[in-house]
Structure 1
Amino acid sequence: MSHEEVVQTDDGVRLRTWTDGDPDAPPLLLINSLGTDLSMWDAQVPGWSPSHRLLRYDQRGHGTSSVPDGPYTVARLGRDALTVLDHHGVERADVCGISLGGLVALWLAAHVPERVRRVVLADTAAKVGTEDAWRARAATVREQGMDAVVDLVLGRFFSPTFRAGRAPALARVEQGLRRAAPEGYAASCEALATADLLAEAAAVRAPCLVVVGTADEATPPADAQALHAALPHAGYAELPGAGHLANLEQPEPFERLVADFLTRPDLEQGHA
């Protein structure tokens, strides 16, 4: 059963949400990356919906959600995620985020541990890139529009092998980037510019799984390994040959890794 609904935050931002699966199953919140929307999880919905109630949304500035002026912060994006959970009556959820969405998931685990059961941190890091690089990209997008950065972004999102194959997923992401609201993208770059959650990671008590593609240029395995080392209760997995959006490049292996982690009966709070 699928259902679309719009949720409003405390500062008046309207967030598009989408639910799939059995409404009585354990909830799984899915948080999209920079420059994508909730459709980035489409390939995983059939595999995850039998065991979970899937709750997806377009982060502010993305998809059909509102595009308020920036800058944004990861804390603000985290409060948006809480608004989505609250609106849908979810007290505690599994959370899976990729890239920027992974930072938001990490923020939730660190700051509202009572709302989080297990956490998947995919192709992300406690700090992604450099402040100067993110501010420069934000400025470029505001001045020249999204077309000015699409080729750069695709090169960092996907492995050379995947790009050469011109898979449908690549075309969908490219189209989405070209349609994206420049202010929403730029303001989200500013959230990445200021985010550094390394200290918070050490306080996370929920079981976590850090997943990374070995061909990820944006948050390479070294970044994922550093995040894994900072988390007290975390597993680690690599997807050989996958780029930054590993769930799109290798949808079935990604789906299985996450499903196995989320359904492990021996995994309790404080143990991974």
Structure 2
Amino acid sequence: MSLATNTKLTDNTQWGLLLAIAGYSVFSGQDAIVKWLVMHDYVIFQVLFVRSLTISIIAFSVGGKTGMLGVLRSSNKGGLALRAGLLLSAWLCYFTAAKYLPLPDLVTLYYAAPLIVTVMSIFILHEKVNAWRWASVIVGFIGVAIAANPTGRAELWPALLVLVAATFWAFATMLVRKIMHAEPTINQMIFTNGGFTLLCGAFMPFLWHTPSLFDLGLMVGLGLLSGAGQYLLYESFRHAPASVIAPTEYTALASSVVLGYLVWHDLPTHTGIIGAVMIVASSLIVMWGERKGKGS
């Protein structure tokens, strides 16, 4: 079955968890590249434009005519457009706040998203959130708070921006699960990234800053990583409930620690190591709980 026609939801939770962990690990690489580019004075709209254009070219190549027709004929254009708008808003809020908040505060606040997803999955998706899933989210959030080791009191409005970004991301996650039964993964990628390309492209005559070949390569590489991460994450929601997937987002912090050391020679603190252990434990809790539930 082709990518453009595969819309079947399955009940393979373990596979969904592995896909989600892989996807969030890829997103850690994305965040490292974005941090590099923002530190070199590239505006987010330009970074998003090259990233989304790269993903769109790949998605069009894979989806082909069938994918394009699927997007044009989709009865879920409203939901797809809303999700794209939520994701774009989350990006803009998060990276605007990043200019004003210390990274530990930023990470701690943003990782409220999985908890928001779990709570929202009850009311929006009517999913049953068992004790294992709640324990996983709570342990993971505590682990992130310890690893981030936030210091000082953040300014109010940037902190609110991060919480808004986390809420936007949580709503977008809900929409992925809601429309996954009707929209193939590749169609969602075509719609979302095509919209990003058009919107951000409208600002390029005013905001474009000609990059070096190295930085341009990073922007294209960002698109490749983001495309792979999107596909893995979309597919994970085809196999597992949103409340199960949510805690796996914490595993991205472990990848971020590795990238931070390789790129900026940042070593984790003692609190970072303790937090990382708890973050890994949070994912193991939900995986063990799901396996125990299937075996009972």
Q: Shared fold by TM > 0.5?
A: no
Rg: which structure is higher? 2
Structure richer in strand, relative to its length: 1
For this structure pair, what is the TM-score category when the shorter chain's length is used for normalisation? 0.3 to 0.5
Task: Give the alignment's TM-score, normalised by structure 1.
Answer: 0.33
Structure richer in helix, relative to its length: 2
Bigger RCO (CA 8 Å, 6+ sep): 2
